[in-house]
Amino acid sequence: IKNGQPGPWAFYDEALRRRRNREREMEDQMEASLRDGDFFVMLQPEYSACGERLAGAEALVRWRGPDGGVIPPADFIPLFERNGFVLRLDAFVFESVCRLLRGWLDGGLAPPPVSVNLSPLHLHSADFVRTYEEILKRYSLPPDLIQLELTETALFDNVALLHQVVGRLREAGFRLLMDDFGTGYSSLKLLKNVPVDVIKLDKSFVDDIGSPRGESIIRTVIGLAHSLSMTVVAEGVEQKNQLDFLETAGCDLIQGYYFSRPLAPAAFAALLR
Ligand code: C2E
Ligand code: CA
Ligand code: CA
Ligand code: CA
Ligand 1 pocket list (CB less than 6 A): 44, 60-61, 72-74, 77, 86, 90, 93, 117, 119, 179-180, 235-238, 255-257, 262
Q: Check if the beta carbon of residue 262 is closer than 8 Å to that of residue 44.
A: yes
- Specify the higher pLDDT residue, 52 or 111: 111
- In DSSP terms, which residues pair with 231 in a beta bridge? 198
Q: Which atom of ligand 1 is nearest to the CA of 238?
A: 18
Q: How many Å lie between the centroid of ligand 2 and the Cα of residue 57?
A: 10
3-state secondary structure of 205: helix
Structure confidence at residue 154 (pLDDT): 60
Probe target for ligand 1 pocket from 90, 117, 147, 201, with the most ligand atoms within 8 Å of CB? 117
C-alpha atoms less than 13 angstroms from C-alpha of 65 in its C-beta half-sphere: 11
- ipTM of the prediction: 0.98
Task: Write the CB contacts of 122 (distance below 8 Å, at least 6 apart in sequence).
Answer: 87, 90, 128, 165
> How does DSSP assign 144-190, residue by residue?
GGEEEEEE--GGGG-HHHHHHHHHHHHHTT-EEEEEEETSSTTHHHH
| One-letter identity of residue 217 | I
Structure confidence at residue 185 (pLDDT): 67
Q: How many Å lie between the centroid of ligand 2 and the Cα of residue 149?
A: 6
CA 222 from centre of chain: 20
Mean of pLDDT values over 144-152:
92
